[in-house]
Amino acid sequence: MSKSRKKKRTPKRVLALPDLEQSKAAVLNSLTSKSGQRTYDDAITDFVEWYCSEPRLAFNRTVVLRYRIYLEQKQYAPTTISLRLAAVRRVAYEAADSGLLSPELAAGIRRVKGVRRIGIRVGNGLTAEQGKRLLAAAESDSLRGKRNYAIQAIRSYDPIDFIPWGLSNVVLITNDEFYFKLV
């Protein structure tokens, strides 16, 4: 008796440009934000150009580590490198989901970490007494003075890490006491 055996399709180790473009399109279609799509498009395009310029590399953890070293040598900022690696990880997920890449290889790529940010925090926060004196010195006659008072009160409550300053609107609600709300 001969059994008909189905040949199990093994995922590729070396992805060609059409495979990468298919995964790239899937990643970009999964993003809702236009700026996110633009950023990931740039990151994935840069990776594909680098990947295709090297002599037929297997798409695995080692290759992604080499790409990270390449980005570090180009002296990109740590956040830029981390973002580009996140885009490459998403391509690996999509390639694994579509059967182009084995789940084991995608898991290996997932373990590639971004660059650590090394730095020293500059300055130190105010003590409670210094914060009270700063607020007491603020002008409260003008609209600008009230605005400055609100900002100083929020910042003295919890230093800069508390609020992404460029992204928030501060709404001041006054009654007998000072309240603040971030919108």
Quote the domain boundaries for residue 148: 128-182
Instruction: Say whether both 100 and 136 belong to one domain.
Output: no
Instruction: Say whether both 64 and 138 belong to one domain.
Output: no
- Paired with 97 in beta bridges are none
Instruction: Say whether both 104 and 164 belong to one domain.
Output: no
Could you tell me if 1 and 18 are in contact, meaning their C-beta atoms sit under 8 angstroms apart?
no
Is 79 part of a structural domain of the chain?
yes
CATH, residue 43: 1.10.150.130
pLDDT of 165 above 90: no
Q: What is the mean pLDDT of residues 132-153?
A: 77
- Quote the pLDDT of residue 176: 46
Give the number of other CB atoms < 10 A from CB of residue 86: 13
Instruction: Say whether both 103 and 162 belong to one domain.
Output: no
Is 40 part of a structural domain of the chain?
yes
- Quote the pLDDT of residue 83: 92
Instruction: Say whether both 79 and 132 belong to one domain.
Output: no
- Quote the pLDDT of residue 70: 94
Instruction: Say whether both 44 and 104 belong to one domain.
Output: yes
Q: How many residues does this entry show for the chain?
A: 183
Give the number of other CB atoms < 10 A from CB of residue 105: 20
Could you tell me if 39 and 60 are in contact, meaning their C-beta atoms sit under 8 angstroms apart?
no
The structural domain count of the chain equals: 2
pLDDT tens-digit readout, 22-76: 888 888 888 888 988 999 999 999 998 898 887 767 888 999 999 999 999 999 9
Instruction: Say whether both 105 and 133 belong to one domain.
Output: no
Query: Which CB contacts under 8 angstroms, 24+ apart, belong to 144-147?
Result: 146/172, 147/172
pLDDT tens-digit readout, 63-121: 999 999 999 999 998 889 999 999 999 998 888 888 888 888 888 888 888 887 766 55
Instruction: Say whether both 64 and 149 belong to one domain.
Output: no
- Quote the pLDDT of residue 161: 46
Among candidate residues 46, 79, 110, the one where a domain is terminated: 110
CA 159/CA 181 separation, integer angstroms: 16
Instruction: Say whether both 100 and 133 belong to one domain.
Output: no
- Helices 78-97 and 34-53: crossing angle, nearest 10°? 80
Instruction: Say whether both 43 and 74 belong to one domain.
Output: yes
Give the number of other CB atoms < 10 A from CB of residue 41: 16
